[in-house]
A and B are shown apart, each in its own frame.
Chain A
Amino acid sequence: MATETHDAVEGAAHAAESAGMPQLDFSTWGNQIFWLIVTLVVIYLILTKIALPRVGAVLADRAGTIANDIAAAEELKQKAKEAEAAYDKALADARAEASRIVEATKAEINEELKAATAKADEEIAAKAAESAKAIDEIRAGAAEAAETVAKDTAAELVAALGFTPKDDEIEGAVSERLKG
């Protein structure tokens, strides 16, 4: 009971002192300032010893990873470009090579064609000559046959006219006429 009264008296005194504002009760300032300093020191130590280096390291690590990834992507992009250029170059080379081969083949074929044509011409000429010879022979044969026929005919005619044919005369006459 006594202590209660004491508390009440004390409380009333405090209330009067602070005029309704506990903030202005200067008897508690020492306590608050002491615990504030303790708190700030503890927070500062926690942050500087553990939290800030850790978070800073994580952020730096992440930034580094992102920068590396971007650099790697850049590099891959460059490589892709190079590969594309190489592909284009290879394609152009292949085209050029193909057209060169086409040209060469065309020239070769022309050459062969010319050779074959020449050969065929030659063969044709040879055949023609041969044929001409054969024709000449045939022609000669025909002339001979015509002479024989003419002689026979002449002999027959002479016989039919009632003369005795004389072979050498008829032959001479026929040869003479044929020559004429």
Chain B
Amino acid sequence: MATEAAHGAEEGSSLVFHPMDQFIVKPLFGGSEVHWYTITNVTLWMGISVLAILALMVLATSGAKRIPSRGQSIAEMAYGFVYKMIEDVTGKDAVKFFPYVFTLFMFIVFSNLLGLLPMSFTPTSHFAVTIVLALAVFLTVTIVGFVLHGAQFLGLFWVSSAPAAVRPLLALIEVISYFVRPVSHSIRLAGNMMAGHAVIKVFAGFAAIAAVSPVAIIAIVGMYGLEILVGFIQAYVFTILTCVYLKDALHPAH
């Protein structure tokens, strides 16, 4: 009885409830200490992202043909997608930020999609990564805003079209929302990635139980399709919000 219970517990712990293990940062070459310079699975999957981006944006476009190959078409589509987004949302004068925004988009979309490979690691499911990305955007917006407009940038918080009486209150709300931006910006991305991957892992755990395994496997297939969509959408959302925030830096007037 006792052994059975122990056995059951062991099985349960090894098969069912480890949905978060996939997010553990591990050194690749032995050891357990994770120093800042340690080569970990984070390094590996970020490196794979870099290689994938290199393959798509450099190798596939190496012909630079007027009539594009399939790979070049995809690269051009990604370029046009982000370029049009920044032009439409932020404005024509914002295209100087295009390489920056495109870097963010490519890194996020490739991390999200590569993270869907079995046994892979998703850097964008970590707050450490997304907070750095979001803070980079936040700092860029703030610094560019003050450099371009000086103290006038603070007009962003002073809604001059509102009645004078409510302006201080609105200013307070605007300031709070401004500083909440990097938090929501980063937690949205990491939360979506983490939740989707964890849910897939939970379903995978249930798949070990014969009675529900068909349902669990169908659910995994469905979730997987959904997660591909979410991977794209979250990269798109992060990028378009970056464009919206950059618009505040370039054109702070309401």
Contact = CB atoms under 8 A, between A and B. Distances in A.
B94 interface: no
Contacts of A30: 35-36
B75 interface: yes
A164 interface: no
Given A21-B20, A36-B123, A58 B46 contact: no
Contacts of A28: 25, 34, 40, 42, 128
B25 A31 contact: yes
Nearest to A8: B32
A31 B34 contact: yes
User: Residue among A7, A28, A46 with the most chain B CB within 10 A?
Assistant: A28
Contacts of A52: 57, 79, 98-99, 102
B242 interface: no
A2 interface: no
Interface stretch (A59-67, A81-89, A109-117, A118-126): A59-67
B37 A34 contact: yes
User: Chain A binding site: helix, strand, loop or mixed by DSSP?
Assistant: helix
Interface in A1-59: 6-7, 10-11, 20-25, 27-40, 42-44, 46-48, 50-52, 54-59
B98 A42 contact: no
Contacts of A27: 34
Interface stretch (B48-56, B158-166, B174-182, B205-213): B48-56
Contacts of A20: 20
Contacts of B155: none
B77 to A, nearest CB: 10
A169 to B, nearest CB: 137
Interface string B140-160: 000000000000000000000
Contact of A35 (B42, B106, B133): B42
A61 B66 contact: yes
A55 B79 contact: yes
Given A35-B40, A55-B57, 17 more contacts: A6-B32, A11-B32, A23-B127, A31-B35, A31-B37, A31-B42, A32-B25, A34-B36, A34-B37, A35-B43, A36-B123, A36-B132, A39-B49, A44-B99, A47-B106, A58-B65, A58-B66
Interface of B: 20-21, 23-25, 32, 34-38, 40, 42-43, 46-47, 49-50, 53-54, 57-58, 61, 64-66, 68, 72, 75-76, 79-80, 98-100, 102-104, 106-107, 123, 125-129, 132-133, 190, 194
5 contacts: A22-B21, A33-B129, A37-B132, A39-B50, A46-B57
Interface of A: 6-7, 10-11, 20-25, 27-40, 42-44, 46-48, 50-52, 54-59, 61-62, 65
Closest 7 CB pairs of A and B: A51-B57, A30-B36, A28-B25, A39-B46, A32-B128, A22-B23, A29-B128
